[in-house]
Structure 1
Amino acid sequence: MFSDKTYENIMSHMLGRVGADVDKREGSVIYDALAPCAYELAQTYYNLNQFLDLVFGDTASGEYLDRVVADYGISRKAATHAVRKVETNGTVNIGTRWGINDTTYKITELTATNVYSAICEQEGDIGNLYDGALENIDNLAGVTAVLTDVITSGADEETDDNLRSRFYAKAQAPSTSGNADHYKEWALKVQGTGNAKVLPLWNGPGTVKVLVVDSNVEIDESLPNSVAAFIETVRPIGAAVTVQSPDCVPITISANIWLDGSRNYNDVQASFRIMVAEYLNSLVFRTYSVSHAKVGSLLLDTAGVKDYDSLLVNGGTANITIGETQVPTVGTISLTEVD
């Protein structure tokens, strides 16, 4: 709105209001007198532009987005702690602390002989990442422990993009009386849910299926139970609700590539895999076809790639159709470097 209110434009306009008989060259008395005012005005207009971005849902971020969506009864989902299974070769006390890499876990409950549940003391997805031998922090002698299954996934604080999506869903697709939008809204309220799809009447009258993925647009086996438990507390009487994870369709990619020398093969492979994952995530519950041409363009856009040929997606050159209860996931990626 105020993009033309630059220092140069303001200074020119101010000098234009000074009589022609006055020296207005840079360094003159009038120029030096007006310059600080023009600078402060330009800074004020810049701040006004930034302020406008912070009060609308499509451009607000951080705490300002929180304030925008609060008017619609929406709040950002906080980070949560992962709960993990710990297996030991002997008895340990509740409250004993263990560590692996950059995470620590506190024993909270005995669930079976020498099997415990432990809560990760760090919030977020990091608590889901590691497994293996644990180091005891409390100097407990004679007992070893191994971190194994995820009991309840930890989740990072909801991102601006996810929060904005929920805000749009609420504002643009009002949910009422247990309609499909209402079920989606309920599913998205559950901590850890990143996206959801609702299939009304999927198994006859009175039936509803809800498919959910986590905030990383990945399958979380514990998420459907959490979503189902919440929906049971708010759904209309008489509805039979099934909550599941969607089926995964691995997308395998192979191609010959020529590198331009700016990056090594391993860096190119890693970058391309990330780009493919982002593309496939953007399709989930929105588009039901993986484009062969798009995969090719991603390969050409990967830094370090000069050219490619013999590109195959799931063994062929056609687009890959994804079913309405399926999501595409990254499968094996085989890039062959050609000299």
Structure 2
Amino acid sequence: MYEDRTFEAMLQEMLSGVPAGTDKREGSIIYDALAPAAKKLAEAYAELARSNRLAHAQTSSGEELRLRGADFGIDPRPASAAVRLGLFYDAAGAPLDVPVESRYSAGGLNFIAAGQIGVGRFRLVCETAGAAGNVPAGTLLPLDYVDKLASAAIGDVLAAGEDEESDESFRTRFFAHVRTPPTSGNRAAYRNWALEVPGVGDAYVVPCWNGPNTVKVYVLGADRTSAGAGVVQAVKDYIDPDTGLGEGMGEGAAPAGALTTVVAAPAVNVNVTASITLSGSRTPAQVDADFGDALTSYLAGIAYGDDPRPKYARIGTMLLDTAGVADYANLLVNGGTTNVTVAEGAVAVKGTVTLT
């Protein structure tokens, strides 16, 4: 908007207003008097341009984007703590039960035993919220004395921790809310309710899937592949929990009488095989990794989009655009040369990639 309001342009405008015959060369009195004013005006216009960008959700970021969302009652999803499996053993190698709320360390992070799920098996909640809690592996070191404990290990991720919602994720939810406003339990309402749950990348809603007053919600995880069981249950508990009196009681976000089923999006594997000619700039392993990353990114970008079918031609272009690939032949996607069919509510994910 103010691209032409540069220091040079405004200084020239000021100097053009000075009477003819006056020395306006750089270093002259009039030049040295006007240059600081032109500099300050250029800075003011730059700040005006920045403020203008931050005022619109399309170009805003950070705290200003959050404030824009707050005008519509949309808050960013906070960071969530990872929940890991803890395995505990005594000196004989037998599983050992440890005290709930005992604390342990792994990978520079602290975990607390939050609950037992089996003999010697406990839910460990990371004390530091965010995706960092998903990373540690191997030995657990006790921070408190635990009687008879000889060894401990950190196991599977039971519920992935997530960092505070990114600008792009928040922007997507903001536009979904304002462009398809949720009203009286319409499809947009169910999608927005699902998106409010940490760990949800997107949702697809099917009304009357099993008769009147039934709704099915398919859920993607943050990586835009099939959501994990913990995320699916969290969405169910938020929209239509079973409080002991049954479902559809209106105890969640959904209106009373609406029976809501929440499932992970069924995954459709996209398997790619091709013969490639290398240019020599990358090794075969690097080409495999780069193409695999590009395919994953492409599939995540079309998940639950206007046309979620992976395109045969697009995959061929991606392969040819991969660094180190000079040419390819005999490209097959799921054994054929056509677009991959993706059913309602399903999501295409990277399967096997075989490049020879």
So what's the TM-score if we normalise by structure 1?
0.91
Deviations 1:276-302 (A, max 9, x none): 111101111112310112112222333
1:231–1:145 distance in 2 versus 1, CA, 3 Å? same
Q: Secondary structure at the residue paired with 2:56?
A: coil
Counterpart among 187, 190, 198 of residue 183 in structure 1 = 190
- What is aligned with 1:96? 102
Query: Is 1:318 aligned with 2:338?
Result: yes
Counterpart among 91, 107, 110 of residue 113 in structure 2 = 107
- What is aligned with 1:224? 232
Gaps of at least 5 residues in structure 2 are: 90-95, 241-251
Query: Is 1:198 aligned with 2:205?
Result: yes
- What is aligned with 2:275? 256
- Deviation for aligned residue 1:185: 1.5
1:126–1:290 distance in 2 versus 1, CA, 3 Å? same
1:240–1:261 distance in 2 versus 1, CA, 3 Å? same
- Deviation for aligned residue 1:142: 4.6
- Worse overlay, 37-46 or 320-329: 37-46
Gaps of at least 5 residues in structure 1 are: none
- Deviation for aligned residue 1:178: 1.1
Query: Is 1:288 aligned with 2:308?
Result: yes
Residue identity opposite 1:29 in structure 2: I
- What is aligned with 2:353? 333
Deviations 1:210-231 (A, max 9, x none): 0111222132121111111111
Q: Which of the pair is proportionally richer in strand?
A: 1
Contact 2:225 2:267 in 1 (8 A): no
Q: Output aligned runs, 1:261-272, within 5 Å.
A: 261-272=280-291
Counterpart among 160, 165, 169 of residue 167 in structure 2 = 160
- Deviation for aligned residue 1:320: 0.9
- Worse overlay, 37-46 or 297-306: 297-306
- State the alpha-carbon separation in 2 of the partners of residues 236 and 156 from structure 1: 31
1:260–1:42 distance in 2 versus 1, CA, 3 Å? farther
- What is aligned with 1:12? 12
- State the alpha-carbon separation in 1 of the partners of residues 258 and 234 from structure 2: 18
- What is aligned with 1:79? 79
- What is aligned with 1:117? 123
Contact 1:108 1:119 in 2 (8 A): yes
- Deviation for aligned residue 1:130: 4.7
Query: Is 1:245 aligned with 2:245?
Result: no
- State the alpha-carbon separation in 2 of the partners of residues 188 and 50 from structure 1: 29
1:158–1:45 distance in 2 versus 1, CA, 3 Å? same
- Deviation for aligned residue 1:129: 4.1
Identity score, percent: 39
- State the alpha-carbon separation in 1 of the partners of residues 313 and 136 from structure 2: 36
Deviations 1:168-202 (A, max 9, x none): 11111111111111111111111221211100111
- State the alpha-carbon separation in 2 of the partners of residues 12 and 302 from structure 1: 49
Q: Secondary structure at the residue paired with 1:290?
A: coil
- Deviation for aligned residue 1:102: 4.5
- State the alpha-carbon separation in 2 of the partners of residues 39 and 304 from structure 1: 48
1:38–1:301 distance in 2 versus 1, CA, 3 Å? farther
- State the alpha-carbon separation in 2 of the partners of residues 296 and 12 from structure 1: 53
Deviations 1:234-293 (A, max 9, x none): 212222110000110111122333444444443333222222111101111112310112
So what's the TM-score if we normalise by structure 2?
0.87
- Worse overlay, 306-315 or 169-178: 306-315
Q: Secondary structure at the residue paired with 1:280?
A: helix
Residue identity opposite 1:114 in structure 2: G
Residue identity opposite 1:283 in structure 2: I
1:9–1:258 distance in 2 versus 1, CA, 3 Å? farther
Residue identity opposite 1:118 in structure 2: L
Contact 1:86 1:116 in 2 (8 A): yes
Q: Output aligned runs, 1:273-284, within 5 Å.
A: 273-284=292-303
Q: Secondary structure at the residue paired with 1:222?
A: helix
- State the alpha-carbon separation in 1 of the partners of residues 130 and 4 from structure 2: 43
- Deviation for aligned residue 1:10: 1.3
1:312–1:101 distance in 2 versus 1, CA, 3 Å? farther
